[in-house]
Every structure is written in structure tokens, then in C-alpha cells.
Chains A and B, each alone.
Chain A
């Protein structure tokens, strides 16, 4: 019999070493998240997964599960906060969904749908972020980057290549390409790399794919992310992804 904590009134079992997020997803309880990816060490930066633990806010993706914790997640106060975070991300970058190849498969967009975000509301910044189309097979569109750091980790930890990195601090922080020229063409990135698969938004895109899967038939067009994320979560019985 494993220990449990309470999440929105439900008892959630966990294994030693699991975070609140891991235990919740394994047990079929969805907590909204953007920068968390089950295959990588949690980064804890997007704060979408913020929950109230014994009355204090904490990122559930980095918080170790402990027996007896009283956790609130699906409450108006936190969903309002999450909505505001999503709105700020939309206002900070250039997110033009109608012309984005990732539309329908985009985690940021799907979170907006699930949280009923009808508009960013803030003053849009419309930053100037030129794309990098130098690579013959891969397009980089920095306009959509949400600084989740997943490509940085995937490239260094899985691909062993260190293609991506961050530069700058605060509002000037941005994704860079780790090559002499700063261009993707001068790296050894390949279409088969893990770094190609982890971008939650439409920054790292294979060329010549475009809209071959039509809008309306895509991942989050079919099912809301709150349902899809539970299907994708590793299950305790096998440890494998549940498809």
C-alpha cells in the first residue's frame, strides 16, 4: 500500500521519488502544464502547473510528493492565474495561429482552448524575431518560442549535440543556436533528433510538411488537452506511455 496525498479532495497514491505532477497524471488526474515533459527533468519555469499545497502555491512538476499533503488545483483562483499566464505568453511572442503550421498540435494553443482563453487581453508586444530558414530540412521560427527549454535538454541529454541554448535574461531571454554563425545549417541537427519532437509550440518545424494534416483533424482538435495529457502519461503498471 503506497502513501497518498489529497488532490482536490481525491486520494492520490504515489511512489517514493515521484513529484506531485507525476503521481497525479499516473493516477488519472490532470494538472495543466506547458514546460513539463514526462521524459525530462522538470524545469518548473512556466508555472502553469502551480497548485496550492497546504495553502501555499508551488509548481507541482518540481514538488516531491509527500504523504498527507492537501493540494488544490482545479479551483477558480488557480485557473484564473493559469489563464493570465497563457495570455501573457500569447501577448509576448508573435502567435498568429491561423498561419502557423503547428496549429491544432500546439500545447500553448490547446491550453488556451481548455482554459477558455478568448483573447490575450494585454498589449501585444509584436517583437521582431527573424526566422532561421538556413537549414535545408528544418525551419526555426523564434516568434513562437515560450522558453520551455525542452529542445535545449533534448539536444544535450538525448541527442548529445547541444544544438540549442538560451541567451539574455528576463524579458531579453531568447533561444539561440549553438554554432559559429548562429545559424541552424551550421549545426549537426538531424530530422530524427529528439530535439525535433519536443517543441510544444511551432518553433522547430520540419520543412515540406506544412498543412499535410488538415486543420480540424489535428491532435487537440480531436480531444482537449486535459484528456489527451492523461492518455500520454506514463502508467504505473508498465511505466510505458498509454496509447
Chain B
């Protein structure tokens, strides 16, 4: 009997804090049974730089700069199922709290007006991705198939969601696992 083909999963963090990735690690010893079922493509866990064809893509963080757009589109192109994980990916989250402000006034305030960060100019190194005018939840840029809310969602919520999905069921969280905070 041939070994069952493992599902291939990619993960990334866009305009996030990697808290959701820490929460993925918080599924703790259940990582071992999970690794019986899945293998990782691009992810901070593997350090693979570009996403290949995958079954599931998990995206933490929203879209706040040009690079985020490219990475998100790469994930959408390669992943059969794309999941937004965490408040920032789902709603824009903390980075989106700049959305009612003008971008240039944000940069001016941080790099020119505020004391302490005094190199006297707004960073313009070509290596730096350009910030977008507004921060967007991922579903405003590409189609997102599933959302796991929370800041971050608990390890238990992530485990329930992924095991439901891998089992071929519509993922449900229910009271105690669904949280927006």
C-alpha cells in the first residue's frame, strides 16, 4: 500500500507581528500528528523563499505595502485553499488603524516631527517596499476561502480549524474558540 500523499501547506506573515505564527506553534505536541498529514512549503518554519503549488496557504497579517501584494498574489496563485489567519489578515487590524490618516502625514510625524529618530529624512532605500495609501484586509486584494479570527487565534482554535479542514469538513470554531480579541 502506498503512503498517503501529504497535504502541502505554505504560511507567511504580511503586515502582521508573527503572533499568529507563534500561535500555530502553540498547537504544541499536536504538531507531530499534524506532520503525519502535512508538509510545509514556503514558511518562516522552513525558510523557503517562494511558494510552490500547495493545497493550503495560511496568511497572517493584512496588506500594507507593495511587497505584501506580490506575496499574497503568489500565495493565491499557488494555493488551492487560502486562509486569512488573525485580526490583521481578516480586518486589517492594528496596521489599519492608520487608515483614517493621510500616509504622508504619518511618515512625516514618525520620521521628521518626532524627536529621537533623527536621520532627518523619510526612508527611501529602493530595497524597502513602498507603503500603500491604505492598509487592506486580504480579502480586498485576492479571494480568501476561509478566515480564522483572533489576535491571535488560540492554538486550540487553529488546531480545530485545520483538523476540520483536513478531514474535509466545513471548519467551525464555536464558543470559546471563536474570538476577535
Contact = CB atoms under 8 A, between A and B. Distances in A.
A215 interface: yes
Interface stretch (B25-33, B67-75, B122-130, B140-148): B140-148
B148 A120 contact: no
Contacts of A95: 91
Interface size class of B (residues with CB under 8 A): 20 to 34
Interface stretch (B3-11, B49-57, B96-104, B111-119): B96-104
Interface in B143-157: 144, 146-149, 151
Given A97-B180, A98-B87, A109-B180, A119 B96 contact: no
Nearest to B149: A118
Interface string B80-108: 00001001001111101101100000000
Main secondary structure of the interface of A (DSSP, over half): loop
B160 interface: no
A128 interface: yes
Contacts, number: 76
B175 A114 contact: yes
Contacts of B93: 96, 98
A94 B178 contact: no
A109 B149 CA distance: 12
Given A118-B147, A120-B137, A126-B92, 10 more contacts: A96-B87, A98-B87, A100-B181, A103-B180, A104-B181, A113-B175, A118-B90, A118-B178, A119-B137, A124-B140
Interface of B: 84, 87, 90-94, 96-97, 99-100, 134, 137, 139-140, 144, 146-149, 151, 172-175, 178-181
21 contacts: A90-B91, A95-B91, A97-B87, A103-B180, A113-B175, A116-B172, A116-B174, A116-B178, A118-B147, A118-B178, A119-B84, A119-B91, A119-B137, A124-B137, A124-B140, A126-B99, A126-B100, A127-B100, A128-B100, A129-B100, A221-B179
